[in-house]
A and B are shown apart, each in its own frame.
Chain A
Amino acid sequence: MRYLGKRLALLAFTLFLISLITFAVTNVLPGDVATMIMGTQSNPEALAGLRARLGLNDPLWLQYGRWIGGMLTGDWGVSLRFKEPIAPLIAQKITASGLIVAMSLTLALALAIPLGVWSAVNRDRWQDATGSGLALAGISLPDFFWGIVLILIFARGLGWLPSSGYASPAEDFGAALRHATLPAVALGASLMAHLTRMTRSTMLEVMGQDFIRVCRAKGLSEGTVILRHALRNSIAPVLTVAGLQLGYLFGSIIVIETLFNFTGMGWLTYQALLNRDMPLLQACVFVIAAVVMLTNLVVDLLYAALDPRMELA
């Protein structure tokens, strides 16, 4: 409990720092939302008026105070460019992103664990080379590259899946899955590769331990040895890493969602940035940071629960 309290205090402090950094960084960006709103219809007089009306001329400490005060009291304000209330907008977009993040994590685990086991069991044979080669390719190439490859093959080439866009799961679940598949695979490619390598190395380590020899000496079949004993002992660290990578996945959605024009949280953040929509941008960055930190905290706690040897301090 004391540990939890300490972690939560640290989390609050980090979020505060993040809010300061976000605010500072977004405010030194060139250009402003007034320019974007008026586009090629603006003139100096109108721009000055709009800036004043939007409060862009107020001192920075006042703007920060107004923003953070609003965030704390639940009034996240309205997007300057799109005139949409920010809190419901983020709630809607984070659900969309949650879908591809969850799908990519599931896919990564579902593929990485068998592939890692297969590589480990067939160590130094062609199966291992194939598995490790795939994993290496997955790690070495950035996720947007996988995105482009997937679009070329499955959307342009085969025409099986849409290359772009979003569909709401509430309206059409099948369409939602089809739209989310390619982004999820692209997002999960490098995670899958990491997990494959991780499964392989922990498996090898466990397979070399004495109790495995005991199992074999008992006369257990090789399948039972691998699945019931070796895998069970290797999987905990793999799951932990997967959990920690959740945060990393949320961090990568900006590129992937923009590439696939999947209108989730990453896309929204990019739109806010493009339009210099500061209240929206700050809220987006803040929420993504909070999600990353919260998932890390939850994973740490779960890990402690799963593995009694782990001590929290």
Chain B
Amino acid sequence: MKRREFLQGTTALAGGALLAGGAPAPARAQGEPKQGGTLIWGHSETTQNLDMHQTGTASTSRLLENVHDSIVTIDENFQVIPNLAERFEMAEDGLTYTFELRRGVKFHDGSEMTAADVKYSFERCKDPETGAVNFEVFNDVEAIETPDDHTVVIRMSRVNAPFLSRLAENGAGVVMPEGSGDIQGTLPTGTGPFRFVRREFGNEVELEAFPDHWRGRPHLDRIVSREVTEPTVRLSGLQTGEFHLINDIPLDRVDALKSDASVNVLTWFPLSWAFLNFNHDRETFQDARVREALDLMIDKEVLVQGAIWGQGVTTASPSFPASPSHNDDITPRAQDFERAKALLAEAGYGPGELSFVFKVTTNYPWHVEATQILVEWFRQGGVEVSIQQLSWSDWLSQCWVDRDYDVTMMNFFTLWEPDFLYYSLWNSEGAFNYRNISDPEIDEMTSAARRVVDPEERARIYRDIQKRVQDEAHDVVLWFRNGTVGAQPSVGGLDGLVHPNGSNLRFRNVWLES
């Protein structure tokens, strides 16, 4: 569909069936789990560095999630719950965490997990020499003590409220055997339900069941992850029976596939969220009126239909919809060209007087589609925009690292931990503040939330932050996108596949009927 045709014709489409939030809806034949079999997974990405600490890509973590376990994890309500630690507690002052480890947990190399392994793993992640992506999680950690084989005590130099939640992510909370750092890149070793067998780079990765897993042997004997980056090839592989399961169904095919009785489609909400970015170092975009004017030119509902084929919903808050810190009172600005033009005029830009370059990465084809639609609206609003398409590496170095752009857009996996989300992205010192946002009010709130231990109070602060971001139009949050998995009817247990974090796939819950 061409853009113009699209802009005229989508009002009818808008407001179609939207998914409710929460866990994936069960609609599949579910019998008793069966043992055995090899599941062939058509995986959407080429796996990168296999070292859980060093890999920064969600796609590689999606695989490694099955090889590793973290010390704690989260449930459907984002509450931190025991995992490799059987019990944990935080001291009243928030400065000491004590973990009581599960006994008899085996690593893939046969050794038994002890407190020394936990200490080793956390210190390895913290050590700058390791190059761990999540090393900053341990910034406030002063000492890690191991009073006995099954107790770990972590002392903090100051209160760090998000600490425990961050340990629920495999990236930081994973436990590896002591001294295994050097082999993790080629032979990832953990306590997870599946053991790494081999990787033929660019082609496939093989995992096998770990019979000594502390939860018991998983249902599947083996998982072969075939790396098929071309979405249509992945889909036809599912339809011809070459794959039992694929992730990321091409967005334009999801609806058609849902009515295909020979495959099961699992969609969940949300996988990721996207936003439009202004470079706050550019004088033009320091003016909140300009940012709001551009926001007002966007019909978010139409954008969701046009760019991601309706596979998502509009939102003004990037917080996980089910999380207590999600602000339910803010909504996206409705499209209003009159008001937008008036704001621009007020800011000193008559029709045709504002012009900028929109840089977008081809790494996400739907971003390019979205950009084309957005630019059409901006032009209708009397703004001159040219589009520059960038490869992933060019986008990263120009927009993310050098911050050399006017306007761009990006998406993130649902960073459900609010400190990680709001401090990193909106604090002026935040690690991901590639928009050069500097708002003293947000700085104060994001810093304060880190030192507040009471969950209710923290959640309230984060709700205020969302409102502030929206009021100031620092960025324009566009949508939550659904995650999708397609599977043969023979794949059982799909409902347990997706981790509550919306990104990871837990194959231990899945079995093959035949």
Contacts and interface: CB of A to CB of B under 8 A. Distances in A.
Interface of A: 30-32, 35-47, 49-50, 53, 78, 81-85, 89, 92-93, 162-166, 168, 261, 263, 267-268, 271, 274-276
17 contacts: A31-B393, A31-B394, A35-B393, A37-B48, A37-B56, A37-B131, A40-B396, A42-B400, A81-B48, A83-B48, A163-B233, A166-B202, A168-B203, A261-B228, A261-B230, A261-B233, A268-B202
Interface string B399-433: 01100000000101000000000000000000110
Interface of B: 46, 48-51, 54, 56-57, 128-129, 131, 133-136, 185-186, 199-203, 226, 228-230, 233, 391-394, 396-398, 400-401, 410, 412, 431-432
Nearest to B184: A83
Contact of B394 (A30, A38, A41, A45): A30
Contacts of B392: 36, 274
A261 B42 CA distance: 14
Contacts of B136: 43, 46
Contacts of B135: 46
Nearest to A29: B393
Given A83-B49, A166-B203, A43 B432 contact: yes
B228 A38 contact: no
A83 B56 contact: no
Contact of B401 (A35, A162, A261, A274): A35
Contact of B228 (A31, A85, A165): A165
Contacts, number: 106
B367 to A, nearest CB: 13
Contact of B393 (A45, A83, A274): A274
Contact of A37 (B54, B186, B203, B230): B54
Contacts of B48: 37, 81-83
B263 to A, nearest CB: 18
A33 to B, nearest CB: 9
Given A165-B233, A276-B393, A92 B56 contact: no
Contact of A49 (B128, B391, B396): B128
Contacts of B57: 39
A159 to B, nearest CB: 9
Contact of A38 (B51, B56, B185): B56
Nearest to A35: B396
A164 B228 contact: yes
B133 A41 contact: yes
B401 A40 contact: no
A40 B272 CA distance: 13
A83 B184 CA distance: 10
Contacts of B133: 38, 41-42, 46
A41 B132 CA distance: 10
B401 A83 contact: no
Contact of A53 (B131, B185, B226): B131
Nearest to B171: A41
A83 B233 contact: no
Given A261-B228, A261-B233, 13 more contacts: A38-B56, A39-B56, A39-B57, A40-B396, A40-B432, A41-B56, A43-B136, A44-B401, A49-B128, A83-B186, A84-B186, A162-B233, A261-B230
Given A53-B131, A163-B233, A271-B46, A31 B397 contact: yes
B397 A164 contact: no
B204 to A, nearest CB: 9
A207 B136 CA distance: 79
B186 to A, nearest CB: 6
Q: Which of B186, B396, B412, B432 has the most chain A CB atoms inside 10 A of its CB?
A: B396
Contact of A84 (B201, B412, B431): B201
